[in-house]
Structure 1
C-alpha cells in the first residue's frame, strides 16, 4: 500500500494497526500560514523537559511523602503493544510547525 509518499507494511491487519512505516524526510504539504503547498520537513514530536517546580509535580511529591507509598496503584502489565507517534511538519519558507494526530505504529523510519 503506498499513498502520499508513505510506504506501509502490514501483515493483513486492519488499517488501525500499522506495524512499520517508512516516510520521506521532506514532502509537499499545505501550510496554513502561507496558504499554499510548500516543502515541509518531517520529524517526530518529542516531549519537553518536565518542570520540577510545577504545581502537579509538587502535589504528587507531597502525596508520596511519608507512609503509604504510591498515590495510585502501580501498573503491573501494559495493555498496548505499540505507542502513538505524532508527526511534526516544519514549513521551509515560514518555519511554521504543524502536527498530525498520533497514529499507532511499532516503528517509524524517516528516510533521506
Structure 2
C-alpha cells in the first residue's frame, strides 16, 4: 500500500480539514515493570521448560500498521485505527 507523506484530513483540535504529515508509528520497547512481563520473568526463571506452547501455523499474510497524523497548523498529532497491509510505503 502506498500513501503520500502529506494528506488533507480532519483535525479534531483545529476542527477543520488541514494538511497533515503522515508517519508510521514504531513499536516501543515493552516495560519490564508491567505485571504481564513480571509474571513471564517469574515463570521462565529457574529450572523447567518454556511455559507456553510454540505458536503453530504460518505467519499472518498482513501486518497491522499504525499511522500518526500530525497537523501542520497546530502541530498536534492524532492516531487513527490501525489498518492491515502486506507492504506499506510512504511516497512523496
TM range (shorter): 0.7 to 0.9
* Structure 1 residue aligned with 2:84: 104
Alignment partner of 1:37 is 2:17: yes
Unaligned runs of 5+ in 2: none
C-alpha RMSD of matched pairs (Å): 1.6
Q: Which has the higher contact order (CA 8 A, sep 6+)?
A: 2
* Structure 2 residue aligned with 1:89: 69
Q: CA deviation at 1:22?
A: 1.1
- Output the CA distance in 2 between the equivalents of 1:104 and 1:78: 17
Unaligned runs of 5+ in 1: 1-20
Q: CA deviation at 1:62?
A: 0.3
Q: Which moved more, 1:86-95 or 1:30-39?
A: 86-95
Alignment partner of 1:75 is 2:55: yes
Alignment partner of 1:27 is 2:1: no
TM-score, normalised relative to structure 1: 0.72
TM-score, normalised relative to structure 2: 0.86
Which whole-Å deviations, capped at 9, do the CAs of 1:53-87 have from their partners, x for residues lacking one?
33321211001122332221111433511111122
Aligned length in residues:
92
